[in-house]
Structure 1
Amino acid sequence: MPEVIFPLDSSKKFEDQEKVGHNRYHPEIPPVATVKQGVSVRIDCREWFDGAIVNDDSAEDILNAPLLTVHKLSGPFAIEGAQPGDLLVVDILDVGPIPQEDSGPLAGQGWGYTGIFAKSNGGGFLTEQFPDAYKAIWDFTGQKATSRHVPNVSFNGIIHPGLMGTAPSAELLAKWNKREGDLIATDPDRVPPLALPPEPQSALLGGVPESDFDRVAGEAARTAPPRENGGNQDIKNLTKGTRVFYPVFVDGANFSLGDLHFSQGDGEITFCGAIEMGGFIDLRFEVIKGGMDTYGVSENAIFMPGTVDPQFSEWLAFSGTSVTLDGKQHYLDSHLSYQRACLHAIDYLTKFGYSPEQAYLLLGAAPIEGRLSGVVDIPNSCSTVYLPTSIFDFDVRPSASGPFQIDPGIGAPKASAG
């Protein structure tokens, strides 16, 4: 087994560990360890809420999820020899739930969760149609996930980190804060908000000295969105065997990661749409000197996906166009067309006995594929969502005999208020 350079004790909170990570981005957060190039290392990761979401049949914890505390990231790690302008090469050698802990109170100990967040607390891709908080618990058996809250389905997980990235420079951080602040100013009272400004409350800044803490906390960027450094990209294909190339903005790169997922559909459409869990990840790092200029990779990550995804031979695909539910035409709006495709899939699954919320949770957690199928035919963008048919234990295809009726079981728990 590779050397564990960031261990986590499941009996302790994230802040009480031997090494303390962070939940904001700032160039002055010091590295917790330095890693040599070419050496394999293991990093433990806590799920993004550090145990606030529990394995029960209630969604009150989703309703009251402490969004100011996320993401709980392991790191940062300085990579020996990395300098601004380089490309950091990250190989994912292995990734999985918490090893040898197949039961317990923490997500990753044999189970994980998917949540529909309340519109008043984060929202989601379809928050106008699903404004209330719901939850689904998924149990792990090897690589397979099943749920008492979404019955009659099972699928192999595509285990991956939702968030990996390098630290921003001071200049890049200022750019983030300026452009996101300008966006917020266009509609400052919007619910959910247009963006998340720096928030000192609940900031976790690793080894930042006490004398600098308040200043850094007031400047540090939230980890919710993907940005030039990678960050919270939520790409389900960053799994075992993946190689990622990240721009380097500070000495050492100061790489950090977290937000592990047992499985996820393209888009993580419920916001907490993956099957969230804690676990481990084995990595190896290399550096391409001057790689940002050499390859023109200055404000994005590029990657070679792994090859361990489950293989499906049959899909049922749903299309959507850039027309709102009330019939308003939008011009080539691919975000809207993917929303409509997902809503069509949800409507279809309700014909088999699922509630709309069960169907929505399923699309967030199962390995669906989202595609931009047409982006040139004015005025309608066409997006599609591909649903693998083999994840169901009944025939989900249309037929002359009509849809099979499942027993929806106890259903997806709903919070008492939103």
Structure 2
Amino acid sequence: MPDVIFPLDSTKAFTEQEILGHNRWHPDIPAAVRVKPGDTFRVHCREWFDGAIHNDDSAEDIRDAPLNSVHTLSGPIGVEGAKPGDLLIVDILDLGPIPQEDSGPLAGQGWGYTGIFAARNGGSFLTEQFPDAYKAVWDFAGHTATSRHVPHVSFTGITHPGLMGTAPSRELLSAWNTREAALIATDPDRVPPLALPPEPSEAVLGGVAGAEFDRIANEAARTAPPRENGGNQDIKNLTRGSRVFYPVFVDGANLSVGDLHFSQGDGEITFCGAIEMGGFIDLHVDIIPGGMQTYGVSENAIFMPGNVEPQYSEWLAFSGTSVTLDGEQRYLDSHLAYQRACLHAIDYLTTFGYTPEQAYLLLGAAPIEGRHSGVVDIPNACSTVYLPTAIFDFPVTPGKDGPARIDPGMGAPRAAF
């Protein structure tokens, strides 16, 4: 087993750990640990809400989830010799849940969760149709996930980090804050908001202390969106065997990682749409000096996906086009087309007995494939959702005898307001 350079005690909160991580992006957050090019090491990661979500049959914890506190990131990890303009090579060697024998009732120790976020607390991809908070708890057995809240399905997870990235430069951080503030200003009272500005409340800044803390907390960027440094990309294919090339913007690169997922469908469509967990990740790092210019990677990481995905060979696909539910035509709107494809799949699954919320949670957690299938045939973009049929314990394809009715079980817990 590689040396653990960023250990976590499962019985303690994120801010009580021996090595303190962070939950904001800023170039002045110092490296918590350091490695050399060519090193292999293990990092422990907290579940992104630091234990605020529980293994129970209530969704009140999703309703009240503390968004100001996310994400609980392990790092920064300084890489000796990395300079702005380099490419940082990160190989994902292994990752998984916190071992069950470790003490503490945290997600990742045999279980994880998927949540539909309420509109007033972040919302989701389908907020207008699903404005309330729901939750599904998933149990892990090896690489397989099942849930008492979404019965009759079992699937192999594509375990991956939802968030990994390098620290921004001062100039890049300023660009983020400027452009996102301009977007917010177009509709400052929108629910959910258009973007999340810097928020000093509940900021965790690693080794920053004293007078500098307030300055950095008021400048530091939230970790919710993906940006040029990688960040919260939620790419389900960044699993074991993947190699990622991250742009380096500061000395040491200052790599951070967290938001581990046991499984996820393309798009993470419920917002907390993956199966969230705490766990470990084994990494190997190296550097390509001057790689950003050499390979034209001025922004955004490039990657080579791993080859250990579950091998599903039969799919049922649903399509959607860029026409709203009210019949309004939109011009080549792939985002809307993917929403319509997801709603199509949800409506279909309800004919077997699932509630719409159970179907929605399933699409967020299971390894569905989402695709832009047509983006040139004006005025309609076409997007598709591919659902693996082998995950169900009943026939899910259309037949002359009609849909097999299943027992939906207890359903997905909903939070009251």
In structure 1, what is the equivalent of residue 202 of structure 2? 202
2:100–2:110 contact (8 Å) kept in structure 1: no
* Identity across the alignment (%): 79
CA–CA distance in structure 2, aligned partners of residues 102 and 108 of structure 1: 10
Residue correspondence of structure 1 range 180-191 to structure 2 within 5 A: 180-191=180-191
In structure 1, what is the equivalent of residue 390 of structure 2? 390
Residue correspondence of structure 1 range 59-138 to structure 2 within 5 A: 59-101=59-101, 104-138=104-138
1:180–1:195 contact (8 Å) kept in structure 2: yes
CA spacing shift, 1:334–1:102, aligned 2, 3 Å: farther
Structure 2: runs of 5 or more not aligned: none
Task: Please say which of residues 155-164 and 102-111 is displaced more in the overlay.
Answer: 102-111
Normalised by the length of structure 2, the TM-score is 0.99
Structure 1: runs of 5 or more not aligned: none
1:228 is the counterpart of 2:206: no
In structure 2, what is the equivalent of residue 276 of structure 1? 276
CA–CA distance in structure 1, aligned partners of residues 55 and 105 of structure 2: 7
Give 1:335's aligned amino acid.
Answer: H
CA–CA distance in structure 2, aligned partners of residues 48 and 94 of structure 1: 19
CA–CA distance in structure 2, aligned partners of residues 104 and 199 of structure 1: 30
Once the two structures are TM-superposed, the CA of residue 85 in structure 1 deviates from its matched residue by 0.2
In structure 2, what is the equivalent of residue 311 of structure 1? 311
2:11–2:104 contact (8 Å) kept in structure 1: no
In structure 2, what is the equivalent of residue 54 of structure 1? 54
CA–CA distance in structure 2, aligned partners of residues 101 and 381 of structure 1: 49
In structure 1, what is the equivalent of residue 12 of structure 2? 12
Give 2:368's aligned amino acid.
Answer: I
CA–CA distance in structure 1, aligned partners of residues 125 and 347 of structure 2: 16
1:104–1:110 contact (8 Å) kept in structure 2: no
Give 1:148's aligned amino acid.
Answer: R
What's the CA shift string for 1:316-369, capped at 9, x where partnerless?
000000000000000000000000000000000000000000000000000000
Residue correspondence of structure 1 range 369-384 to structure 2 within 5 A: 369-384=369-384
1:103–1:111 contact (8 Å) kept in structure 2: no
CA–CA distance in structure 2, aligned partners of residues 373 and 103 of structure 1: 46
What's the CA shift string for 1:44-101, capped at 9, x where partnerless?
0001000000000000000000000000000000011100000000000000000243
CA–CA distance in structure 2, aligned partners of residues 8 and 102 of structure 1: 11
What's the CA shift string for 1:5-54, capped at 9, x where partnerless?
00000110010001000000000000011111111100000010000000
Give 1:39's aligned amino acid.
Answer: D
CA RMSD of aligned residues (A): 0.7
In structure 2, what is the equivalent of residue 154 of structure 1? 154
What's the CA shift string for 1:366-404, capped at 9, x where partnerless?
000000000000000000000000000001000001000
SS at match of 2:287: strand
CA–CA distance in structure 2, aligned partners of residues 222 and 369 of structure 1: 28
Once the two structures are TM-superposed, the CA of residue 210 in structure 1 deviates from its matched residue by 1.3
Residue correspondence of structure 1 range 277-296 to structure 2 within 5 A: 277-296=277-296
SS at match of 1:175: helix
What's the CA shift string for 1:231-286, capped at 9, x where partnerless?
00000000000000000000000000100000000000000000000000000000
CA–CA distance in structure 1, aligned partners of residues 102 and 247 of structure 2: 37
4+ residue segments displaced more than 6 Å = none
In structure 2, what is the equivalent of residue 248 of structure 1? 248
Give 2:414's aligned amino acid.
Answer: K
Equivalenced residues, count: 417
CA spacing shift, 1:311–1:269, aligned 2, 3 Å: same
Give 1:211's aligned amino acid.
Answer: A
